[in-house]
Amino acid sequence: MESLGYPGAGDVTIFNALSMSALGIGNHGFDGGANQYCTMVASQAMPSLTVNLDFDDFVCSPALTISPDAQECSSVAGTVAKSCFVTLEDGSKVGLIGRAPAEFFNVVEDPTETLPGLDFVGGR
């Protein structure tokens, strides 16, 4: 919804309003390319999780922040992480781990051009 400031802002607004703890990463988040994806992540009130995507050489603006693993989800909002945890009302901690689907790069249009430097951990 570009009328909210950038494509994808409507989705982020809904996710933030739902007070989601974390998001998994799928191919549709990248429909607008690298820069749009990084803008969306930076404005999320939760982290995006994936254990199998390698962002080390990923190029986008604004720069994507990669958080350390196993942090409280709320403390790594607006970043990408492999995992995080939520603390329930009774004090129990629940770990969350995200992963991109195996067909991820097969369903993204021209991933080399639209997602520069992004790959699976260990390569495709």
Residue 77 corresponds to which tokens in the numbers above?
């909002």
70 occurs within a structural domain: yes
Give the pLDDT confidence score for residue 35 in this predicted structure.
93
Q: Which helix (H) or strand (E) holds 80?
A: strand 80-81
Cα gap 104→81, rounded to integer Å: 18
114 occurs within a structural domain: no
Residue range of the domain that includes 87? 2-101
What is the band of 111 on the pLDDT scale with cuts at 50, 70, 90? confident
87 occurs within a structural domain: yes
Split into its structural domains, the chain has a count of 1
Give the pLDDT confidence score for residue 1 in this predicted structure.
44
Sign of the CA dihedral 27, 49, 7, 32? negative
Q: What share of the chain is helix, strand, coil (3-state, %, to 5)?
A: 30, 20, 50
Cα gap 47→23, rounded to integer Å: 6
112 occurs within a structural domain: no
37 occurs within a structural domain: yes
92 occurs within a structural domain: yes
Cα gap 3→116, rounded to integer Å: 27
124 occurs within a structural domain: no
39 occurs within a structural domain: yes
Q: What is the pTM of this model?
A: 0.90
